[in-house]
Structure 1
Amino acid sequence: MKAVVRYPIRLLLSDMDGTLLGPDHSLSPRTVEAVEALRAAGVFFSLATGRPPRAMRQQIEALGVDIPTAAFNGGTLVNPDGSYLVTHYIPREAAVITLELLSRHEEVEVWVFADNHWLLRNPHGTMVPREQHALGYAPTVVDDFTAYLDRIDKIVGASGNGQLLIDLESVLQPLVAEQALASRSQRSYLDITAMQANKGEALLTLAKYLGVPLEQTAAIGDGGNDPAMFHRAGLAIAMGQAEEVVKRQADVVTGSNSEDGAAQAIERFILVSR
């Protein structure tokens, strides 16, 4: 664990689900007020999430985010006007390997994000209603994913069997090494993205874009895809409900997302430092 940074933070990059959003995927008034206070203090604020760009619009508007945001775990950086600053697709070979492996397991629902759509073969999967509620739009049902193999932003293996996803992560990562990354964004989701599509690279790109030194950046999150930005940031903050392996890679731990932990962190570790 690094020593806690003692100088003012100029950029905060925040995860969304499990961090900025409560268990019901809503923004609390306290969180909105904390982000407003950040921006009033001259601190840049942005989002880094496994979600697709179209599933971030409501939160971007509610929080007044006016700088690029990172979707698909950093695979796509989106300008405030909706245009893309950076895009990374999963290489075709890695996509084929991933889809073949995940499809072997009946307990795993396989989702593909491409062409601004959420694609799946089985619309009746038990995880679908939860994801549709979180994203705010319905999936597109396809017979297979072949037509999209060259332009896939993200593949997700969704399952209520968390241990199975842990096992699949350990099996899959060596198979797609140097082409793609497999990480659990939440206990029920195994995300596969391009190698360059990680939140650490997103933070680096965003900091350079804004002219902010990395030592003056902070990152906050709760999932297995968040330590990538923890390792880049000057200050890394883990949510209270995060797994221990995530907490150990952060500088400090705040409250859970059911306790407005993100707002607590902003108030305690960032605004106070200014």
Structure 2
Amino acid sequence: MIKAIFFDIDGTLVSFNTHRIPQSAIDAISMAKAKGVRIYISTGRPLSLINNLDEIKHLIDGYITANVALCFSGDKIISCTPVPEEDVMTVIKFSDSMKFPCMVVGEKDLTMYNSDERTDRIFRQMLNVHNLKEDNDVEQILRQRILQLTPVISEPEELQIMPRLTGCVSCRWYPEFADITATNANKGNGFLDIISHEGIPVEDTMAFGDGGNDVSIIERAGIGVAMGNANQILKDVADLVTSSVDEDGVYNAMKKFVL
């Protein structure tokens, strides 16, 4: 019996084409919630950039945010895993020398450091992410614990940078940038933290995703579901491959296992 479901946002709950949650997914989540199923979000986005869940916000019990750097249930913080300070400064220096934008996500605020035209094209136009706060002073953000760094870099540039970071991992859920978090910060660990806190058995859980940063949670959930639009790596580890987000993928999988 499914007691908790974890949803990635972009490409899973929310379409890259419409920037909206399909009505079928809203209906399925509403029906599941009415049956007592707990609903959680598992996203690479920091909390302040989650701007596309208004239709289901009242149904959500907790969040894994910034690829698990900050997890909470209701108002209670379950875990916080910041990036080591020396790694933060290394990425900042690379951003200056290699001239790439980098989102710096603090515990309380964020900024888009070294913003350029790619910031607007990728985040505002393609992903419909606003509130990037380019005017925020990075020095002020660096006084906080840093939860995540999101540099706009290619895969070869990522391979150049990551060996210089001693306490971090990187992953991609969109081709043009990487999310850098502390080594133990992944969605799978956040998932385990939350269900342990809530007393939910692993076998009673379900998780949905579409990108590389979803592999760890899809592998660990009782039923791991890859969207039809997911990358092949995720499909290979999933228990079920459903249809795409634009073809009612969430509803189709939930109808089979939950509704």
Q: Calculate the TM-score normalised by the size of structure 1.
A: 0.82
1:149-177 Cα distance to aligned partner (Å, 9 max, x none): 66211110225xxxx2x333444444335
Question: Which AA in structure 2 matches 1:233?
Answer: A
Query: Pick from 229, 236, 247: which aligns with 1:241?
Result: 229
Query: Aligned pair 1:55/2:49, yes or no?
Result: yes
Question: Which AA in structure 2 matches 1:176?
Answer: L
* TM-superposed deviation, 1:41: 2.1
Q: Give the whole-Å Cα distance in 2 for the aligned partners of 1:248 and 1:94.
A: 32
Q: Give the whole-Å Cα distance in 1 for the aligned partners of 2:65 and 2:247.
A: 25
Query: Aligned pair 1:205/2:193, yes or no?
Result: yes
| Identity among equivalent pairs (%) | 25
Whether the 8 Å contact between 1:11 and 1:45 is mirrored in structure 2 is: yes
Query: Pick from 36, 47, 51: which aligns with 1:42?
Result: 36
SS, match of residue 134 in structure 1: coil
Q: Give the whole-Å Cα distance in 2 for the aligned partners of 1:48 and 1:136.
A: 19
Label 1:171 to 1:236 Cα distance change in 2 as closer, same or farther (>3 A): farther
SS, match of residue 119 in structure 1: strand
Label 1:208 to 1:61 Cα distance change in 2 as closer, same or farther (>3 A): farther
Q: How does 1:122-271 map to 2 (within 5 A)?
A: 122-128=114-120, 130-132=122-124, 134-141=128-135, 144-145=138-139, 148=142, 151-158=145-152, 164=154, 166-177=155-166, 179-268=167-256, 270-271=257-258
Query: Pick from 2, 19, 29: which aligns with 2:23?
Result: 29
Q: In structure 2, list runs of 5 or more residues that go unmatched.
A: none
Label 1:263 to 1:114 Cα distance change in 2 as closer, same or farther (>3 A): same
1:47-102 Cα distance to aligned partner (Å, 9 max, x none): 01011112336626634234221110111013434x53322210012212333345
Label 1:139 to 1:147 Cα distance change in 2 as closer, same or farther (>3 A): closer
Q: Give the whole-Å Cα distance in 1 for the aligned partners of 2:89 and 2:65.
A: 22
Indicate the RMSD between aligned Cα atoms, in angstroms: 2.5
Tell me how many residue pairs correspond in the alignment.
256
SS, match of residue 207 in structure 1: helix
Q: Give the whole-Å Cα distance in 1 for the aligned partners of 2:147 and 2:123.
A: 17
Partner residue in 2 for 1:116: 108
Question: Which AA in structure 1 matches 2:157?
Answer: L
Label 1:172 to 1:138 Cα distance change in 2 as closer, same or farther (>3 A): closer
1:81-133 Cα distance to aligned partner (Å, 9 max, x none): 4x533222100122123333454444x42221114333123444223355246
SS, match of residue 219 in structure 1: strand
